[in-house]
Chain A
Amino acid sequence: MRRLGTLLVVLTALLAGASSALAHPERQSYFPDASKGSVPKYRHTGAPLIVCKSNSRRLIRKAFKGRRHARTRRARLRALESCRFRHIQAAVNHARTGDRIQILPGVYREEPSRKIPVDQARCASMFETPDDGDAKVATFEHQVRCPNSRNLIAVIGDSLSDPDRECDKRCNLLIEGLGRRPRDVTVVGDRRKRDVIRADRADGFSLRNVWVEQGAFNNVDVVETNGFRLSRLVLPYGQNYGVLTFASDHGLYDHIEAYGNGDSGIYPGSGPEGHCRRYGIEIRNVNSHDNVLGYSGTAGNGTWTHDSRFHDNNAGISNDSFASGHPGMPQDCSKWTGNQVNSNNRNFFTNDRDRYCMNTPFEKRRREVVCPQFQVPVGTGFVLYGVNSNVIQDNDVYDNWRSGVRLFWVPASIRGDNDPAHQFDTSNGNRFIGNRMGLRAGGRPAPNGIDFFWDEQGVGNCWRGNRGTGGRITSDPPTLPGCPRGSLFQQGNLAKLGAEVPCAAWDPDTMPDPPGCTWFTTPPRPRR
């Protein structure tokens, strides 16, 4: 009987393993306990751990010169007297829960971390192979035992002593630049390690007033963290993301500028599963520009983005349900209000750039050259593919030469769910209310190619009170269902769906210009 029981346990474990799916270049991740945690407050108290460089004194005087800054200058020079660390990671290693790490002006390259090889031999066995992919991903044990193998600066909060996935040490840590502007404290990635700064199960993590650049994947990466505050950051030139938060909750993005990133400036992916009862991550005062995407979020659930700008990217804001294995699929329940989403017509999908990107690995590329990591429809404001119950309200969406908003269905099979009953469970219940389309602030016309482009699939999608050039919006289909009732179910328009399929074949090496795909040609400026 005991043998039978053991056999059943083994079989159950095998089946559970087979049904789980993960292929994001992140380990299999889980949401933190939503009943705990909160956005950490900015703290002024507590003895800080001070980090400085040999030239910090000169840089303090330069950053805070003049009578206007005399008081702060004196405070910074006093702080310099207490400096004990030359590298941020060294201070993190000395930090305890609730500590503040204060970084004086300087350029931080973290030389000791750089010396640690990306493929550290002693952690070579600490990778997991996802069921649905063959790119091995580092386990949490890897992050604990070899924290600087893949991260220039690692804040690892959980220990291996218990299985609770909650922070045990270095929780509520504040890392703060003491410059006048973020630029005064610059952290430079080595273009080999995936993350420049990684907070992993580091509940209550705060990062403030720093400039972080050149991550081989992310400049800032916050994973499985309950409570985080990212404020006054500048995040340029990551190979993929300026900042990525994943399976994290109770978070705030505030005053962040992100540009030059090969996927998106900000990525609140696998967001909180509030299912429209709450917004677990607030994003405000973000300026994301000149990336491939200003914002993206696969399973970008439960976020509220407001008073931000997404402009001059290849496309502005993307939310989708494309991936398999991301927690929280399919995407639902995010809200965008009072944002400017405009002029997303930059085009990084050019032949010469494709060639350069293919032939030059990231570590050897020129810092400012952005290489697209995924394909996007150039000239689009919102790219909403397979999303549910989102609110897009009171935004200014203008001068996007292809379309202001694209709303498309994605079948459940794309996320590995082949249940016939689930195939139409995306692109439902989205509301577009009171947006100003094709109008700059002040009402000057700056038309989108078309304001709303919808594949006509989905239940309960509705439009109300959107205003366009001359008072009227443009759309395909020409008539959009009103709120609150919204659309009734119908199959998607095959011509619209089919026209996008060839774009899936894009590859800068083998298929830079797929037949039938218009996405990579900048649309002409619309005239009206």
Chain B
Amino acid sequence: MKWAVAATLLLLAGVGGLLLAGDRNPGPRAATATAPLQWKSKPSLVLVPSLPRDRILTGSVRNASLRAVDLESDRVQIIDAAGRRLKATARFAQHFSHGLYPWSMHVTGSKFERRRIGEIATIRPGEDVPLTLSWRVPAGGSEPVEARFDGGRLALPR
């Protein structure tokens, strides 16, 4: 009987320990204000002479938090000083690629597919991924000041 009680206690302690360990090492989550993103080094601004209102910014973004973050290019917003959202694109890549499916097939693509072409990325703590943003400044509008990632923010260099 004593052995049974001891075994039960050991089992509970083990499960508790696993739960605690799990709490200390959670899975990825969306970027938040407590999971800041930073440019790894100063990104490069590419200007396109034939598109004078368009900008391309390419570099690497680092996860400065203690948690992994999941990022999705469709949810990236480029915001100007007045809080307006600019027409923009984002890719977690520094080179062109395209998916395997023509648009006409209306396939979203699996996580593997989306990750490989830079539509989504997971950044573990202290690690970085390539990021290229582009945006169009509206006529008479101002340059953007930040990129928003599901509540997280990334300052854009001026």
Shortest distance from the beta carbon of A383 to any chain B beta carbon, whole Å: 10
In the complex, per-residue mask of B80-123: 1 if CB is within 8 Å of any chain A CB, else 0: 00000011111101111110111111011110110011100000
Which of A87-95, A126-134, A180-188, A222-230 is the interface stretch?
A126-134
Chain B interface category by residue count: 35 or more
Q: How far is the CA of A197 from the CA of B88 in the complex (A)?
A: 42
Would A375 and B101 be within 8 Å (CB), given that A133-B109, A499-B46, A505-B91 are in contact?
no
Chain A residues with Cβ below 8 Å from B112 are 21, 131-133, 324, 416
Q: Which of A203-211, A433-441, A507-515 contacts B (4 or more CB under 8 A)?
A: A507-515
Residue B8 lies at the interface, judged by CB distance under 8 Å to chain A: no
Give Cα A406–Cα B117 distance, bound, in whole angstroms.
Answer: 20
Distance between Cα atoms of A507 and B119 in the complex (Å):
13
Q: Which of B58, B86, B95, B113 has the most CB of A within 10 A?
A: B95
Interface assignment of A15: CB less than 8 Å from any CB of chain B: no
Number of A-B contacts (CB under 8 A): 150
Q: Is B154 an interface residue (CB 8 A)?
A: no
* Interface stretch of the complex, out of A4-12, A390-398, A407-415, A474-482: A407-415
Q: How far is the CB of B141 from chain A (nearest CB, A)?
A: 12
Asked if A488 lies at the interface with its beta carbon under 8 angstroms from chain B, I say no
Contact of A516 among B56, B97, B109 (CB under 8 A): B56
A323 at the interface (CB under 8 A from B): yes
> Do residues B113 and A23 form an inter-chain contact, with CB atoms below 8 A?
yes
Q: Is A518 an interface residue (CB 8 A)?
A: yes
Contacting B94 at CB < 8 Å: which of A240, A501, A511?
A: A501
Q: Interface residues of B: mostly helix, strand, loop or mixed?
A: mixed
Query: Are B88 and A504 closer than 8 Å at their CB atoms?
Result: no
Bound-state CA distance A517–B110 (Å) is 26
A213 within 8 Å of B by Cβ?
no
How near does chain B come to A513, taking the closest CB pair, in angstroms? Answer: 9
B-chain residues with CB within 8 Å of residue A511 when the two chains form the complex: 89
Give the CA-CA distance A502 to B55 in the complex, in Å: 10
- Tell whether A498 pairs with B94 under 8 Å between CB atoms, given A135-B107, A518-B51: yes
A421 contact set on B, CB distance < 8 A: none
Q: Does residue A167 face the partner (Cβ distance < 8 Å to B)?
A: no
Contacts of A16 in B (CB 8 A): none
B95 touches which of A325, A357, A410 (Cβ 8 Å): A410
Q: Which of A77-128 contact B (CB under 8 A)?
A: none
Query: Once bound together, how far apart are the Cα atoms of A61 and B125, in whole Å?
Result: 78
A368 interfacial by beta-carbon distance below 8 Å: no
Q: Which among B56, B102, B108, B110 is the interface contact of A501 at CB below 8 angstroms?
A: B56
Other-chain residue from A494, A505, A518 in contact with B48 (beta carbon distance below 8 A): A518
* B44 adjacent to chain A (CB < 8 Å): yes
Complex interface: chain B residues within 8 A of A509 (CB): 103
Q: Are B113 and A500 in contact (CB under 8 A)?
A: no
Q: Does A503 contact B (CB under 8 A)?
A: yes
Chain B neighbourhood of A72, CB < 8 A: none
* Contact A517/B100 with A498-B94, A504-B118 known, Cβ cut-off 8 Å: no
Contacts of A374 in B (CB 8 A): 98, 102
Q: How far is the CB of A265 from chain B (nearest CB, A)?
A: 16
Tell me which residues across on chain A come within 8 A of B87, comparing CB atoms. Answer: 515
A371 contacts the other chain (CB 8 A): yes
Q: Which residue of A lies closest to B107 (CB)?
A: A135
Query: Distance (Å) between the CB of B157 and the closest chain A CB?
Result: 14
Q: Is the CB of A504 within 8 A of B46?
A: no
Known: A357-B104, A498-B94. 18 other contacts (CB 8 A): A131-B110, A132-B116, A135-B107, A263-B102, A373-B102, A411-B95, A414-B117, A495-B44, A495-B46, A497-B96, A498-B132, A501-B95, A501-B134, A502-B89, A503-B96, A504-B91, A515-B54, A516-B136
Could you list 18 examples of A-B contacts with CB < 8 Å? Answer: A135-B101, A239-B104, A240-B102, A322-B98, A323-B100, A324-B100, A357-B104, A374-B98, A374-B102, A408-B95, A414-B117, A500-B96, A504-B117, A511-B89, A515-B86, A515-B87, A515-B134, A516-B55
Chain A interfacial positions (CB closer than 8 Å to B)? 21, 23-25, 131-135, 239-240, 262-263, 322-325, 357, 362, 371, 373-375, 385, 408-411, 413-416, 492, 494-495, 497-505, 507-509, 511, 514-518, 521
User: Would you list the 6 A-B pairs with minimal beta carbon distance, nearest first?
Assistant: A516-B134, A498-B58, A373-B102, A500-B96, A515-B136, A505-B89
